[in-house]
A and B are shown apart, each in its own frame.
Chain A
Amino acid sequence: MTQLSIIIGYLSLLLILGLFANRFFRGTSQDYMLASHSIGPFLLLMSLFGTTMTAFALVGSTGESYKVGIGVYGMLASSSGIIHSLCFFVLGVKLWGLGRKFGYRTQIQFFRDRLESDKIGLLLFPVLVGLVIPYLLIGVMASGGVINGVTQGRITEGVVTNATFPEGTFPDFLEQGDKGFAVDGSKGGVPRQVASLVVCGVVLLYVFFGGMRGTAWANAFQTMVFMVLGVVTFVIIANKLGGHDSLLANLREIASKVPKEKLTRVDVSKLKFFSYLLVPLSVGMFPHLFQHWLTARSAASFKLPVVLHPIFIMIVWVPCVLIGIWATSNLIQIPPPIQNNPNLVLPFMVKRLAGPVLGGFLTAGILAAIMSSLDSQFLCLGTMFSTDIVTHYAGKNRFSDRQQVLLTRGFIVAIVALTYFFSLFEPRAVFTLGVWCFSGFASLFPLVFAALYWKRLTKAGGYASIVAAIGTWTALFYDSDFAGIENYALEFTLGDSTYQMMPVVGMFVVSLLALVLVSLATTPPSEKTLNKFFPN
């Protein structure tokens, strides 16, 4: 109950922050969606970092390193340090400049102008929304799982003791699961469906009250919370597991007990590892990052995020990966239900090794990482709907600023409800689902890069690239049983050896080829458009 009280206190604090940000709201849609371009370097750093680090970074990385060892860091953390900042540098600054000059709020506005096609929005809108939904799903699923995990009772020989909520507190469909209360049910904790709903509600409320300004503030606050508490978690778990007096002695003791295969990458294909480099290109097409880029006060505001982003990634990921491999040591027994669901490794370690008070705060830190991504995604979905669909087709004067804000909120609620509905089904591994989502966005990277740097990109080339990217993504996602096959990869044989690559390679190559070949075969853009986007 102590942990639950702390979690409730933390969620209340976020609501207060949203209400406080509302006092600065200027009443315009420009202010609600882009904080009137007022975000300086520090807030931009924290909001960009907080947005990109989600359940995937904490819950997913710990669970995946528990499964495959330290290779997880190289697959997505160190590569992201290089590639994310490259995207901020090469795409973010330039798009910010164009956004300020031409008044863009969304990617679709930019692509409509650059590709000289009004209807490109009708294709791109469902593609972007469709790809954001799995990203949202990661956060919604993980938040429910984490809260349930830390509030569960202790299970001894199939009997739940010390339950936060005794059996019968909630309706059967919430607490019994398929195999019973103590097997795959709520086990005396807050049912994950209820926990996910509450977290969605809290994020919705502070996004509604605070808009982009509230989101940026909440992101900065939550990023600090999860970075500090992440390091605290690491130290506490190390000291509890090691059993010695000094931290260094504990770290050495635990490392000596980790199986050798988890200290290396013997179970990771080298080509697959290399192909992971394409996955972080996804940040170039994340609609919520585009919106955050546009909030910058000046181009110089990007410098701090560009430099510190790789280092912040290291601060968050290294402890998580170490905790994940520690869970494979014989110093702690991971029960079978947790072994089968790597999403629960981190909450299990926190619950088992930290006291109730500290456990509550550490859980708040994990939730902070999850919610600091959900909020930006919620806001960007609403912004895209109101700007690219409603205002664009109904006309600028059809709706007042206040009505636009209302429409934004209505669409956000609809998408969150849809995501929540999906989250009620069998949960997928956070890491696997995250990689699929990022791969889809990465396959659209050629489009945004060419739009900014290749004059020969044509309208038809743009359409071909999007259709090829989403077509390949859909086919491969279906083939992977909708992320159900966790080690799904593209395989080819050369001689006697079989090689594996991440599915993103197939999507990226097909999208790039379609873009280049169709562009070269069709009429170049008009002089007017080229002068607009390539004045020199």
Chain B
Amino acid sequence: MKTFRMSDMSRTLWILVLALIILHQDNWFWTDARLVFGFMPIGLFYHACISLAAGAMWWWATRYCWPDESESSSGEEHSA
């Protein structure tokens, strides 16, 4: 079986993951009680957007950073 090396992942992906983790700590909305659309607390709305951004980032990752070797099942499959 071939290996999946860390270097197979794009450096960009790690930068994106780190950026999302930093953006996750939204000290700027900590005490802000504004309501987006009149009903959604802005702190909750912001974090829902973080969830959507995570989905988009992982879509990008599966498209451009997916390890080639793992696309198909291993040819040396063990029969347990």
What is A's interface to B at a CB cutoff of 8 Å?
Answer: 30, 37, 70-71, 73-74, 77-79, 81-82, 85-86, 89, 93-94, 96-98, 100-103, 105, 248, 251-252, 254-256, 260, 263-266, 270, 273-274, 277, 297-300, 303, 306-311, 313-314, 318, 321-322, 325, 453, 534-536
Contact = CB atoms under 8 A, between A and B. Distances in A.
A210 B51 CA distance: 34
A532 to B, nearest CB: 10
Contacts of B78: 100-103
A84 to B, nearest CB: 9
A78 B33 contact: no
B6 A453 contact: yes
B33 A260 contact: yes
Interface in B1-16: 1-6
Given A73-B48, A78-B24, A270 B30 contact: yes
A274 B25 contact: yes
B4 A252 contact: no
Interface residues of B, number: 50
A86 B40 CA distance: 28
B70 A299 contact: yes
Closest 7 CB pairs of A and B: A103-B78, A299-B70, A251-B39, A314-B51, A310-B54, A103-B80, A81-B54
Contacts of B41: 70, 255, 263-264, 325
B80 A30 contact: yes
A298 B72 CA distance: 6
Contacts of A274: 25
Interface string B10-46: 0000000100110011110111110101111101100
A73 B44 contact: yes
A97 B67 CA distance: 12
A252 B52 contact: no
Nearest to A276: B24
A342 B58 CA distance: 34
A535 B44 contact: no
A71 B29 CA distance: 11
Contacts of A536: 2-3, 5
B24 to A, nearest CB: 6
Contact of B2 (A264, A265, A277, A535): A535
B66 to A, nearest CB: 7
Contacts of A264: 29-33, 41, 43
A252 B35 CA distance: 9
B40 A81 contact: no
B52 A311 contact: yes
B73 A298 contact: yes
Contacts of B66: 300, 303
A81 B25 contact: no
B30 A82 contact: no
B30 A322 contact: no
B30 A265 contact: yes
Contact of A248 (B2, B25, B31, B39): B39
B17 A86 contact: yes
Nearest to A254: B39
Given A30-B80, A79-B24, 17 more contacts: A74-B24, A74-B43, A74-B47, A77-B51, A81-B55, A82-B21, A101-B76, A103-B78, A256-B35, A263-B43, A264-B43, A266-B30, A298-B73, A299-B70, A306-B62, A535-B1, A535-B2
A102 B76 CA distance: 8
A89 B58 contact: yes
B52 to A, nearest CB: 7
